[in-house]
A and B are shown apart, each in its own frame.
Chain A
Amino acid sequence: AQKITQTQPGMFVQEKEAVTLDCTYDTSDPSYGLFWYKQPSSGEMIFLIYQGSYDQQNATEGRYSLNFQKARKSANLVISASQLGDSAMYFCAMRGHYGQNFVFGPGTRLSVLP
């Protein structure tokens, strides 16, 4: 069975500072994909970044980067230069090699302070 753990229910960060949102996972699949999604108060899920389990390099997308440590089974999201619009819920998710659906973590609520 797959499981995602996000141990930070809430995080605060000062505007323009960097912040790391933690995510650890558990799976027995030989290959898998890790995702981060942002959910603002309006409810839509916005795809941020993807990391494949066999990718050699950490994924980056603009201000988002994924700190992937396979041996530790962690996939932390790093947001650089935080903006007020980054305030939202952030979900880490995983899709196994043999499945198409996601398993989501409980989420972290990020609040960016002016």
Chain B
Amino acid sequence: GAVVSQHPSRVICKSGTSVKIECRSLDFQATTMFWYRQFPKQSLMLMATSNEGSKATYEQGVEKDKFLINHASLTLSTLTVTSAHPEDSSFYICSARDPSEGYGYTFGSGTRLTVV
């Protein structure tokens, strides 16, 4: 089945530094990828839609300058958390859909970000 690879799975960084999270679609091309954020014991909240070759679409309330999204190829989208602060600590997860695999969207394994 379709596989979405997300890296790193865990990262700890200092306040004020930037962290890049990669999301790759394996064996299929994804013109669109989605980035979600999940706080402990809560549901997934869509942050932004990443579009290959064009600007990402951000959900209301998500700071585009803080959460930089780049979708430079059909198989790779990156989320960069800039000038991270402890309140950015969360679980970030991406997803994409392989049209040949039916209706289900495949999710990456997620990245647990801790800002200290």
Contacts and interface: CB of A to CB of B under 8 A. Distances in A.
Interface of A: 33, 35, 37, 42-47, 50, 52, 91, 100-107
For the side of the interface on B, what is the size category?
Answer: 20 to 34
B100 interface: no
Contacts of A45: 44, 93, 95, 107, 110
Contacts of B107: 37, 44-47
Contact of A44 (B32, B49, B103, B110): B110
Main secondary structure, interface of B, reads strand
B64 interface: no
B44 A104 contact: yes
Interface of B: 32, 34, 42-46, 49, 91, 93, 95, 97, 102-110, 112
A102 B105 contact: yes
Contacts of B110: 43-45
18 contacts: A33-B103, A35-B103, A35-B105, A37-B107, A42-B109, A43-B109, A44-B110, A45-B107, A47-B104, A47-B105, A47-B106, A91-B44, A100-B49, A100-B97, A102-B44, A102-B46, A106-B42, A107-B43
